[in-house]
Structure 1
Amino acid sequence: MKNASKAIESYIFGKDGNRPDLLQHAFSPDATLNVLVQTNTILFPPNVQGREAIAEVLVRSFSLQYENVYTFCFGAPPEPEANVHKCKWLVGMSTKATGELRVGCGEYHWVFSPQSGLAIQLSITIEHMLECPSQHMRKIMDWLQGRSYPWCESTDMLDSAPPLTCLQPVLVYVAA
């Protein structure tokens, strides 16, 4: 049964929770991932082909470095039968090695198979990936954990954000 919002949720829950098996409910076997990174604080390959390779990059390798991952998609989820969906996103996480926090934002552009409803292409733009000191862990995690997950209104995210200088570029992007 086609369900674009469930496909996106499977991706979010799989990536954030280190559950690569969930990507079978998100991507077609031959799906394509394109990543445009606009910052030098995080690296991803620009093109990845196939669900297993996407799982390797976005879940397995990612989870070696990061934990406490929360990804939010702004706005309403797509209709179940949607063939495309575009939304801004925000992610917060901690680095396993140092406890340093990362807060990033950008845009997702999804293309779904009209037959299966699974993603055949995901384009991710990473506009910002900010580094915040580990001393802000509790404030940032409380902020993220108090939001509707994974679908959230940007106004809720902005209105509840802790007053930390390290978050400003992300908040400005989300507000635009």
Structure 2
Amino acid sequence: MAYRNGTYVAFHANGTNYPLNSDIRYYNLIKAWSEKAGDDFCIVNSHDKTAAVRDSSSKETLRRSLRERLNSSKNMVLIIGETTNQDDDWVPFEIEYAVDTCKIPIIVTYVDIKTPIYDCAPLLPKLPDALRSRIQNKTASAIHIPFNKKVLQDSLRFTFNNKPNGYGEGIYSANAYRTFGL
């Protein structure tokens, strides 16, 4: 069994590696927060735990690498942008493996939301079917947060041994959001 201390970040790449045309820009921002000297935001990036795989590699090679990274992860951050629910290959695969096999919680962060989330039900249509169905059948453990550094930092405490409440519909309280300055 792998040492599970990493955070796996999933996002819809929109079939491009150009940052302004996909949600990779938010992944890069999370990495920048973590790499900034003197900042207390820190993630152990599961993507750094295995050798890089080219996008031109075979699907099975890519799947093997993704499984290895997920096996080393304590949680998954799922970046939800405007097209994430249209992804029909990699993001659904990552969600299915994370929930069904690795049993890790999903930290669902919405890039277009900057205010507290008190009810995730109106946001469920933004999710890929792979996660929405697992929330509905209560097999996924998830917390729904705005894309905010302080909120994300706190949510990283949720792991396979410390899952958020709410059976996939987890949210923070108003008091918690006040402590985050929201």
Give the TM-score, by structure 1 length.
Answer: 0.30
Higher helix share: 2
More strand by share: 1
